[in-house]
Structures are given as structure tokens and as C-alpha cells.
């Protein structure tokens, strides 16, 4: 069991990535007693903002200004988006603005996570089950020449900012968990942090999205693997491993507010 995190906007939240051992089987049902007091869900019309954020998870509140549904399902189930399989195609291309508040303003992220499970089941009619699958996994390790990450000076809340397609800046990231989540989403496979790097860092990454169907040009940004190695001093290594998946059995577009 390896810990990783989703960093969305200004908030860091911890998720558990299961890559070894046995997983629980069967349909996952949220605890109905843990629910938001009020919740607003609205579809976002084009043009769609890039990056999928920011999200706020604090003081009994879940707010996603650009919430892609697969990402919300992943956060609610405490896994990476790459570990959520199945579902209708619109969950990856139709984002929603979500603003939900608990009756208890001091509710912690773990409680908010369970409330989001209830919200997804109620408004999106979400039904899932968990299963272990043998799949593609990437290990993130330090390259032969060493890390190129720059130490942060402190005083700024951790933040991830997409400044354009294939351009993302990490500010005051106290771990590499935000980078892990971004890489996992881009590659469509879990990424495991084996760098043993600890500290607070500022860094940027510029790359060509691996899912961009357009042919590469002479002036194109480097591919993701090259960018990680040349710009961060890190390396992605492909391997196979058993991974616990959250499989979507049923989902509908949300009911109106």
C-alpha cells in the first residue's frame, strides 16, 4: 500500500494507492448518514478551462470550480484517477461546478470524502465495485545525474497551476504527490514515487501531452518522459503490477439542483 495524493488548486489531499495484496470485492456503498447539508452541481459550458481546478476541501466544504467526474470519483474513493475504470465517455469531457457544504463546518477531509460518495450516489446514481487487475504501472525514480528540483523558500500555500496545454507549475509542493497525480492522469496508469525525495519544492514542467493525436513538429515541446528527465532530473520506468481498481458499473448525468 503506497501513499500518494491529489493536489488540485490550492489543496493537498492524501489518497491510498493499492498495488499489492488482496482487495475487497463487491459493490461499494457510501454511508448514507454522511451527507452534505446543501449541494449545487452545474454543468460547465464550453470553452472548458484546462487543468481541472481549483478544488477546495476544507472546513466542511467541497468546491470544484472545474470538476471532471472521473477525478471526483477517484478522490471520493481515495485512489488515483487512473485507478477508476469504465463509465460513460462524458465523465472525461463534461466538467461540473460543484459547491457542497456540510452542516458541521469543522468536518475534516476524510468526512468530506464520504459525503462526496453519498452525493455521487444520490445525484449521479453512481454504482461501483473494486477489483484487482494486473496492469501498467510507472515508477518515478531519481535520474543518474540527480534531481533538478529547486528548494522552495516557504511562505506560500502549495499550488498547482496549469498555464497552458502541456505547461504546469508546482509551487511550494511539500512532497511529489501532486506531480505523481498529474503524471498518473496524463499516462492513464498509476505512478509510484520511489524517489525518496523529501522537502518543499518549486518546479515547472513543459511537455507534449502523450494523448495529443497531432504529429510532432520540429518545434514541439519534448514528450512527457523526456521532459521529466531533462527538466526535473527524474525518470519514469514502466513495469507491471497488481493494482486495485474502482470500476464504474452505472452512472448518469446529475439530477438538477
Position 249 in a domain: no
How far, rounded to the nearest angstrom, does the alpha carbon of residue 83 sit from its chain's CA centroid?
10
Lay out the sheet containing 38-43: strands in order across.
Answer: 38-43, 96-101, 61-67, 55-58
- Please list the pLDDT of the chain residue by residue as tens digits (257 residues): 333 334 333 333 333 344 433 344 455 544 445 899 999 999 999 887 665 567 888 889 999 988 999 999 999 999 988 899 999 999 999 999 999 999 999 999 899 999 999 999 999 999 999 999 999 999 999 999 999 998 887 656 667 888 878 899 888 776 788 899 899 989 989 999 999 988 888 899 999 988 777 887 888 899 999 999 999 999 999 999 999 999 999 999 997 77
- What is the rounded (10 degree) CA torsion for 156, 159, 162, 163? 0
| CA atoms 245, 247, 6, 229: torsion sign | positive
So what's the pLDDT on residue 218?
81
Question: Among 132, 166, 182, where does a domain finish?
Answer: 132
Looking at the fold, whether 104 and 162 belong to one and the same domain comes out as no
Position 14 in a domain: yes
Question: Among 70, 97, 132, where does a domain finish?
Answer: 132
Q: What domain range is 104 assigned to?
A: 2-132
Distance from C-alpha of 66 to C-alpha of 50, rounded to nearest angstrom: 9
Position 65 in a domain: yes
Q: Is the peptide bond before 47 cis (omega within 30 degrees of 0)?
A: yes
Looking at the fold, whether 65 and 28 belong to one and the same domain comes out as yes
So what's the pLDDT on residue 231?
97
Position 251 in a domain: no
Looking at the fold, whether 120 and 16 belong to one and the same domain comes out as yes
Alpha helices in 87-205 (DSSP H): 109-123, 177-187
Position 248 in a domain: no
Looking at the fold, whether 31 and 116 belong to one and the same domain comes out as yes
Looking at the fold, whether 14 and 45 belong to one and the same domain comes out as yes
Position 111 in a domain: yes
Which DSSP state fits 6? E
Looking at the fold, whether 202 and 82 belong to one and the same domain comes out as no
Which DSSP state fits 76? H
So what's the pLDDT on residue 11?
35
Looking at the fold, whether 36 and 51 belong to one and the same domain comes out as yes
So what's the pLDDT on residue 16?
34
Looking at the fold, whether 65 and 75 belong to one and the same domain comes out as yes
Looking at the fold, whether 160 and 180 belong to one and the same domain comes out as yes
Which residues, in sequence order, are CB contacts of 3 under 8 Å at separation 6+? 14, 15, 16, 17, 177
Looking at the fold, whether 148 and 119 belong to one and the same domain comes out as no
Position 255 in a domain: no
Number of separate domains in the chain: 2
The three three-digit cell numbers of residue 220, written as one number: 514541439
User: For 27-65, b where at least 16 C-beta lie within 10 A, e where not — what string?
Assistant: ebebeeebbbeebebeebeeeeeebbbbbbbeebebbbb
Looking at the fold, whether 76 and 196 belong to one and the same domain comes out as no
Question: Among 107, 132, 157, where does a domain finish?
Answer: 132
Looking at the fold, whether 141 and 59 belong to one and the same domain comes out as no
So what's the pLDDT on residue 69?
95
So what's the pLDDT on residue 156?
62
Position 250 in a domain: no
Amino acid at each position: 500500500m503506497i501513499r500518494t495524493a491529489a493536489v488540485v488548486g490550492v489543496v493537498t489531499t492524501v489518497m491510498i494507492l493499492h498495488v499489492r495484496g488482496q482487495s475487497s470485492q463487491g459493490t461499494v456503498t457510501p454511508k448514507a448518514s454522511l451527507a452534505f447539508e446543501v449541494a449545487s452541481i452545474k454543468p460547465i459550458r464550453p470553452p472548458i478551462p484546462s487543468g481541472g481546478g481549483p478544488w477546495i476541501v476544507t472546513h466542511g466544504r467541497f468546491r470544484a470550480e472545474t470538476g471532471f467526474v472521473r477525478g471526483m470519483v477517484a478522490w471520493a474513493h481515495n485512489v488515483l484517477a487512473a485507478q477508476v475504470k469504465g463509465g460513460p465517455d462524458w465523465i472525461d469531457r463534461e466538467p461540473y461546478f460543484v459547491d457542497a457544504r456540510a452542516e458541521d463546518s469543522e468536518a475534516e477531509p476524510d468526512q468530506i470524502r464520504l459525503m462526496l460518495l453519498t452525493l455521487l450516489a444520490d445525484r449521479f446514481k453512481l454504482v461501483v465495485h473494486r477489483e484487482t487487475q494486473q496492469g501498467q504501472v510507472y515508477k518515478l525514480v531519481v535520474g543518474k545525474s540527480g534531481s533538478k528540483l529547486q528548494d522552495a523558500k516557504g511562505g506560500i500555500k502549495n499550488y498547482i497551476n496549469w498555464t497552458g496545454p502541456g505547461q504546469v507549475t508546482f509551487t511550494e509542493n511539500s512532497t511529489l504527490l501532486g506531480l505523481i497525480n498529474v503524471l498518473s492522469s496524463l499516462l492513464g496508469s498509476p505512478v509510484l514515487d520511489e524517489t525518496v525525495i523529501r522537502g518543499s519544492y518549486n518546479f515547472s514542467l513543459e511537455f507534449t501531452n502523450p494523448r495529443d493525436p497531432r504529429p510532432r513538429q520540429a518545434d514541439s515541446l519534448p514528450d512527457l518522459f523526456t521532459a521529466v528527465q531533462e527538466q526535473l532530473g527524474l525518470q519514469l520506468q514502466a513495469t507491471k503490477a497488481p493494482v486495485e481498481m474502482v470500476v464504474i458499473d452505472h452512472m448518469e448525468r446529475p439530477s438538477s439542483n
